[in-house]
Chain A
Amino acid sequence: DQQVKQNSPSLSVQEGRISILNCDYTNSMFDYFLWYKKYPAEGPTFLISISSIKDKNEDGRFTVFLNKSAKHLSLHIVPSQPGDSAVYFCAASGSYIPTFGRGTSLIVHP
């Protein structure tokens, strides 16, 4: 039973537009959420995180939104660039072992 779900396996966006990646979770004990980006043949790289006491965290082109009542978080990338093309993993943690989603493959077309 997946506790962290990324329901869209892939997303295609035009350069300059907004990319919105979504993530849903089921465990109400999760209190820390992260997004990672992964290029082929490389390990995941930490992108941005948010604590459950906040509903938004912004870092440059990347913003994460958390809706605790809906158990939903999203990552917004504005503007999207071709170099953003990668697999994005959502992760949630309530203790010391984060649970990862299966990833969403983002393709940004020039």
Chain B
Amino acid sequence: GAGVSQSPSNKVTEKGKDVELRCDPISGHTALYWYRQSLGQGLEFLIYFQGNSAPDKSGLPSDRFSAERTGGSVSTLTIQRTQQEDSAVYLCASSLTAHNQPQHFGDGTRLSIL
């Protein structure tokens, strides 16, 4: 399909392990966002990429979280030394441009830390 694709859809891992989440945005979309949704909460902004500009990392909760976007397309979100509070659904979204455009979301990665 032509939508935003995220993998894996589910990830269960032990506390202390590193995890890598992947996002394939819609082709041609220059803006890419990562959010997380914890149980019963809204969407918490994590990081934003726009074209070749430096990413806005202001939402990352700690230095264990990092993300990159290679070639202006695929993005990976890495969580090092996972903690139980990292358990959440991680959502990726892309939009044609950054300003006043609706976002198209993937179905998310459900991350469970044991």
Seen from chain A, the residues whose Cβ lies within 8 Å of a Cβ on chain B are 31-32, 34, 36, 41-46, 49, 51, 89, 93, 95-103
B105 & A93 in contact (Cβ 8 Å cutoff): no
B108 & A43 in contact (Cβ 8 Å cutoff): yes
**Residues in chain B near residue A98, CB distance under 8 A:** 103
**Residues in chain A near residue B100, CB distance under 8 A:** 31-32, 51, 93
Query: Which of A31, A41, A43, A89 is in CB contact (< 8 Å) with B4?
Result: A43
Question: Can you offer 12 A-B residue contacts whose CB atoms are under 8 A?
Answer: A31-B100, A34-B102, A43-B108, A46-B104, A51-B100, A93-B100, A96-B31, A97-B33, A97-B45, A97-B56, A100-B43, A102-B41
A26 to chain B, nearest CB (A): 15
**Residues in chain A near residue B104, CB distance under 8 A:** 46
User: How many chain B residues touch the partner (CB < 8 A)?
Assistant: 25
Given contacts A96-B48, A96-B50, contact A44 B42 (CB under 8 A): no
Cβ proximity bits B45-67 to A, threshold 8 Å, 1 near / 0 not: 10010100000100100000000
Closest to B42 in A: A102
**Residues in chain B near residue A31, CB distance under 8 A:** 100
Contacts across chains A and B counted by CB atoms under 8 Å: 50
Bound CA–CA A100/B43 (angstroms): 6
Query: Which of B40, B42, B59, B107 is in CB contact (< 8 Å) with A43?
Result: B107
Bound CA–CA A31/B33 (angstroms): 19
Bound CA–CA A34/B4 (angstroms): 19
B63 to chain A, nearest CB (A): 20
Q: Which B residues from 1 to 16 make CB contacts under 8 A with A?
A: 4
Bound CA–CA A95/B100 (angstroms): 8
**Residues in chain B near residue A99, CB distance under 8 A:** 45
Cβ proximity bits B78-94 to A, threshold 8 Å, 1 near / 0 not: 00000000000001010
Bound CA–CA A93/B99 (angstroms): 8
A85 to chain B, nearest CB (A): 18
A100 & B102 in contact (Cβ 8 Å cutoff): no
